[in-house]
A and B are shown apart, each in its own frame.
Chain A
Amino acid sequence: MFEKTGIPSKEMIMEKFPSIDRINKGPVAVVECYKEIPCNPCQTACKFDAIKVGEDINNIPALNSDNCTGCAICLSKCPGLAIMVVDGSKSETTVQIKIPYEFLPLPNAGDIVKGLDREGKYIADVKVINVLNPKSFDRTPIITLEADREFLYDIRNIKVVS
């Protein structure tokens, strides 16, 4: 189905998520790159040796979640915008999610925006914690969101309503 619709199945998504124990320890990347393509900037960008594509640049990137610091540098370097960072260490009821977001208007810290899933469907309102858009991100801003824990595996996009 994924190849017909562009929507990964729940199983595919779960396979890419680090364990909940790891997520509860602190920020960590989720690399949703499911198919072999000639691409490896995620590996090049990571200073912590946490993403490996390997000798053949067509390999699917593999995350070593022990090495990953959740620094989010790879998010704005991935041409597929396929990486996000999740963090379950901040609260027992919520999680923080960092996503790349290349649309205007950008939200502001403190805003409540609509949290969307991988199909673009509305899931729940989420709070914008911060918006980073330095020159080094090269026009791919990174938005940190706070969402209810139950939506950890669902929220992947936002809609900013002005």
Chain B
Amino acid sequence: MKDAELLIIGGGPAGLCAAISAAESGARVCIVERNKSLGGQLVKQTHMFFGSEKQYASTRGIDITNILLNKLNSYNNVEILTETSVVGMFEDGVVSVVHKEDNYYKIKPKAVIVATGAYEKSLAFPNNDLPGIYGAGAVQTLMNVHGVKPGERVLMVGAGNIGLIVSYQLMQAGVEVVAILDAAPKIGGYLVHASKIRRMGVPILTSHTVKEAVGKNYLEKAIISEIDNKFQPIEGTEKEFDVDVMCISVGLTPLNEMLAMRGCQMKYVSQLSGFVPVRNENYETTVENVFAAGDATGVEEASAAMVEGYLAGICAAAKIGYRPDNFDERKNDYVKQLDDLRSGPVGKHILAGIEQIVV
């Protein structure tokens, strides 16, 4: 059994920022990350981020990782375990992990912050298992992390920010995007992103869905159709696209089974995109000393995930005895940053979700 003071599960923006603020408070921090390197979703975001200066707005996601890692490296009370997955969290506070494929061991921390992010939703349609049909995250990883072109001609399914951004990045990689479609009557992502793609000549087809995929050994064709306001296909509106890739980007849902396993009270909140932990304003769940931050507490953005991480980090550290003198000042600053980020139309929706889980 390995012992640790503050265990942080997940090394994405939320986990890294939690580690930075807890380490700054003086806590001994251990980050467990299942991938080879830290950064979470950031390592494939080649575009500039929104937000304000404090959340590194207008910096590219890939570069934000390095900014955060440099900060983290300035502390000597941080241990980083990569290629290590958390596979269980138990009632007695023990967390079990597996390093690489077969090295299982246990960790007994004083407090935990779960920052495991989110996973992609899938879409049901005939032949959706043909090779060439990917999740947007996979396409982005292939392209931006491994430098592999996923195909030649892509149909993007989903006009949220991720669908729009990945379409743009596909075009930057020299891949043709034939169209972006979305079942919703309006574009879900930021319109500045939509305009950016539209002026490259890519049509955005709202109120459309995939009827079926066609192909023998791999995707050769996609058939789509228009849908009415009850989301039912309208006969006679079918269109065909000769494509070798279909990229599914229909949203994310929080990845947090670990919290449910630990016994934290969970609640389904549509505005937060799935089951999320009930928590207090310090991001502590209903189980004492178990905290959560980032997309695992509700799908939002890296900007909010970072600030939530900082906030959860400082609160968790304080809870186990490392309360810095400027605790209130720092906490208030993080709370204000979150309020600012959430004060617009998109944020209102998130706030309506958060209201349902904060006790």
Is A38 a contact of B303 with CB atoms below 8 Å? yes
CB-CB nearest in chain B for A74: B58
Contact of A57 among B185, B206, B340 (CB under 8 A): B340
Contact of B199 among A40, A45, A79, A156 (CB under 8 A): A156
Q: How large is the interface on A (under 10, 10 to 19, 20 to 34, 35 or more residues)?
A: 35 or more
CB-CB nearest in chain A for B204: A6
CB-CB nearest in chain B for A77: B58
Is B190 a contact of A37 with CB atoms below 8 Å? yes
A residues 35-61 touching B (CB-CB < 8 Å): 35-41, 44-45, 56-58
Given the interface pairs A56-B343, A57-B52, A81-B196, the reply to whether A3 lies near B201 with Cβ below 8 Å is no
Q: How large is the interface on B (under 10, 10 to 19, 20 to 34, 35 or more residues)?
A: 35 or more
Given the interface pairs A34-B191, A78-B58, A120-B200, the reply to whether A44 lies near B52 with Cβ below 8 Å is yes
Contact of B344 among A58, A102, A103 (CB under 8 A): A58
Is A36 a contact of B199 with CB atoms below 8 Å? no
Is B195 a contact of A79 with CB atoms below 8 Å? no
Give chain B residues whose Cβ lies under 8 Å from the Cβ of A33: 192
Main secondary structure of the interface of A (DSSP, over half): loop
Give A34 to B199 CA distance when docked, in angstroms: 15
Give A116 to B172 CA distance when docked, in angstroms: 17
A residues 100-134 touching B (CB-CB < 8 Å): 102-104, 116-121
Given the interface pairs A34-B191, A79-B57, A81-B192, the reply to whether A58 lies near B198 with Cβ below 8 Å is no
B47 CB within 8 Å of chain A: yes
Is B192 a contact of A80 with CB atoms below 8 Å? yes
A82 CB within 8 Å of chain B: yes
In the complex, how many angstroms separate the beta carbon of A113 from the nearest chain B beta carbon? 14
- Residue picked from B57, B185, B341, most chain A C-beta under 10 Å: B57
- Residue picked from A45, A77, A79, A139, most chain B C-beta under 10 Å: A79
In the complex, how many angstroms separate the beta carbon of B176 from the nearest chain A beta carbon? 13
Is B191 a contact of A56 with CB atoms below 8 Å? no
Is A82 a contact of B195 with CB atoms below 8 Å? yes
Give A4 to B189 CA distance when docked, in angstroms: 11
Is A102 a contact of B52 with CB atoms below 8 Å? no
Give chain A residues whose Cβ lies under 8 Å from the Cβ of B174: 104
Given the interface pairs A37-B190, A38-B344, A80-B193, the reply to whether A103 lies near B58 with Cβ below 8 Å is no
Give chain B residues whose Cβ lies under 8 Å from the Cβ of A104: 172, 174
Give A7 to B58 CA distance when docked, in angstroms: 23
Is A7 a contact of B198 with CB atoms below 8 Å? yes
Is B191 a contact of A120 with CB atoms below 8 Å? no
Give chain B residues whose Cβ lies under 8 Å from the Cβ of A140: 48
In the complex, how many angstroms separate the beta carbon of B59 from the nearest chain A beta carbon? 8
12 inter-chain pairs at a CB distance below 8 angstroms, sorted by A residue, are A2-B191, A5-B187, A6-B187, A39-B50, A39-B52, A44-B53, A77-B58, A79-B48, A79-B49, A80-B190, A80-B196, A81-B196
Instruction: Point out residues on B near A: beta carbons under 8 Å.
Output: 47-53, 57-60, 171-172, 174, 185-187, 190-202, 204, 206-207, 303, 340-347
Instruction: Point out residues on A near B: beta carbons under 8 Å.
Output: 2-8, 32-41, 44-45, 56-58, 77-82, 102-104, 116-121, 138-140, 156-157
